[in-house]
Amino acid sequence: MISYSEQYRKALLEDVIPFWEMNSPDPVYGGYFTCLDREGKVYDTDKFVWLQGRQAWTFSMLFNQVEKNPKWLSLAKDGVDFLKKYGRDKKGNFYFSLTREGKPLVQPYNIFSDCFAAMAFGQYGLATQDEKVLNLAKNTFENILSRKSNPKGKYAKSYPGTRPLKNFSLPMILSNLCLELEPLLDKELVEQTIDECIHEVMEVFRDKETGLIYENVMPDGSLCDSFEGRLINPGHGIEAMWFMMDIAHRRNNQHLMDQAIQSVVSILEYGWDTQYGGIFYFMDAKGKPPLSLEWDQKLWWVHLETLVALAKAYRFTKNPELLKLFEKVHTYSWEHFADPESGEWFGYLNRQGEVLLPLIGGKWKGCFHVPRGLYQVWKALEE
């Protein structure tokens, strides 16, 4: 275990973080470039709010958890300042993307911008004890809760009432976000949010029979035989299960822990490509053709989140079967995703495991899943 733990620690601190430290900061306008090729060169300068928040969170988290390195705090500040200055519209909702200079490009149609901004402010506020940033984290969290029932606002395209599907993403992310922001929040609100999240994730979106997570269900939790209703996103489900394991550990809830681990195993078995290896991106629960043309591709974050889930599952159970699963995913991931040239990971492989896009960062891949995953595995296997 120590050797795995050491491999992940070294990759994080010696390869991955230096790549982002070196290539990502925008010295002119602040914030981060995320569209980076293997040499670290910037191929597009737009700034995506998800990734600004996530990177500021990563550097704050490393400062808080690994080492009080002033360089990390300063890099976190770059992103936090950029978000504070340019990230929000007048109502406090976060845009989806900005130009390099910080001008708004895409409207706040997507509440996950707000979620990642809140995570960034929360960790950075803990690091600096800056009251203003802590308040901003809290206000952003409250704004997310207030938009919960209609997160897309006027940009929602579904006709009200016909097929009122609920989506998995928000309860999933809230189960992580409320632990992230716990020190800033009212104790009762935290416990209540956790209760709701456990209920939503494990009872509403998780199918008790198969252990699979459905991305969209009817309000009563029943399944809906439509493209959206049949959609399974294995990486998403597995990621949510390690959020649940963290909650189970915190609450000492063995039942929840067992359920979450069982689901990880079920989803992994279901989503594994027995022909080429790796985990599919999207599947249809009834085996019908999925809507997304990229369904069979292998994505970096899916594999990192699975490594985290399996490392935690092993840590909490010491079950050697879970270690074997970890090793299977570990071997596939390091053989296919890790890029020796950049020290970071490729994001997108085709089904066969060949590089589909030769980028290290882009519109959706930034400084987040790789470093967070490496950190989480390092820590889980160290114990």
Task: Round to whole Å and give the CA distance between 313 and 40.
Answer: 34
Q: What is the three-class DSSP state of 311?
A: helix
Considering the complex, state which of residue 125 and residue 362 has its C-beta at the smaller distance from its own copies: 362
In this structure, are residues 274 and 268 in contact, taking their beta carbons and an 8 Å threshold? Answer: no
Please identify which residue in 27, 70, 219, 289 interacts with its own copies, judged by CB under 8 A: 289
Least Cβ distance, residue 26 to its own copies (angstroms): 16
**The only residue of 39, 149, 222, 293 in contact with its own copies, by rule CB under 8 A:** 293
Nearer to its own copies, 39 or 383 (CB): 39
Min dist. Cβ of residue 33 to its own copies (A): 13
Q: What contacts 253, CB < 8 A, 6 or more positions away?
A: 247
According to CB under 8 A, which one of 66, 196, 227, 353 is a site residue for its own copies?
Answer: 227
Contact indicator for 257, 245 with CB cutoff of 8 Å: yes
Give, for 231, the enclosing helix (H) or strand (E): strand 231-232
Q: Are 189 and 218 in contact (CB under 8 A)?
A: no
Task: Determine, following the binding rule CB under 8 A, whether residue 109 of this chain makes contact with its own copies.
Answer: yes
Out of 351, 369, 372, 379, name the contact with its own copies by CB under 8 A. Answer: 351
Residue pair 349/278 in contact (Cβ under 8 Å)? The answer is yes
Q: Give the x/- contact pattern for its own copies in 147-186, rule: CB under 8 A.
A: -------xx-xxx--xx-----------------------
Contact letters (x/-) for its own copies, 5-44, by CB under 8 A? --------------------------------x-----xx
- The backbone torsions φ and ψ at residue 104, rounded to the nearest 5 degrees and listed phi first, read -65, 135
User: How many residues of this chain interact with its own copies, rule: CB under 8 A?
Assistant: 41
| Contact flags string 58-97 toward its own copies, x per CB under 8 A | -------------------------------------xx-
Give the per-residue contact string, 246-285, with its own copies (x = CB under 8 A; - = no): ----------------------------------------
When asked if residue 130 is in the footprint of its own copies (CB under 8 A), the reply is no
CB of 119 to its own copies, least distance (A): 23
CA 304, 382, 9, 179 torsion-angle sign: positive
Contacts of 194 (CB under 8 A, 6+ apart): 175, 178, 179, 247, 251
Query: For its own copies, which is the closer residue by CB, 277 or 362?
Result: 362
Q: Does 99 bind its own copies (CB under 8 A)?
A: yes
Beta-carbon contacts of residue 98 (< 8 Å; ≥ 6 apart): 31, 46, 47, 49, 52, 86, 87, 104, 105
Q: What is the DSSP letter of 159?
A: P
- Of the chain, the end-to-end C-alpha distance in Å amounts to 9
SS (H, E, C) 314-361: HHHHCCHHHHHHHHHHHHHHHHHCECCCCCCECCEECCCCCEEECECC
List phi, psi (to 5°) of 283. -140, 165
Binding-site member from 1, 66, 218, 357 for its own copies (CB under 8 A): 357
Please identify, using beta-carbon distances, which residue of 77 and 365 lies nearer to its own copies: 365
Give the max Cα distance, the chain: 54
> Whose Cβ is closer to its own copies: residue 82's or residue 95's?
95
Shortest CB 50 distance to its own copies, Å = 14
Which helix or strand (DSSP H or E) is residue 216 part of? strand 216-217
Smallest distance, Å, CB 6 to its own copies? Answer: 33
- Between 115 and 201, CB nearer to its own copies: 115
- Using DSSP bridges, classify how beta strands 283-284 and 97-98 pair: parallel, antiparallel or unpaired: unpaired
Closest approach of Cβ 105 to its own copies, in Å? 5
Return the range that interacts with its own copies (CB under 8 A); candidates 5-13, 167-175, 269-277, 291-299: 291-299
For binding to its own copies (CB under 8 A), which residues are involved? Answer: 37, 43-44, 46, 95-96, 99, 103-107, 109, 154-155, 157-159, 162-163, 225-227, 288-291, 293-297, 348, 350-351, 356-359, 362-363
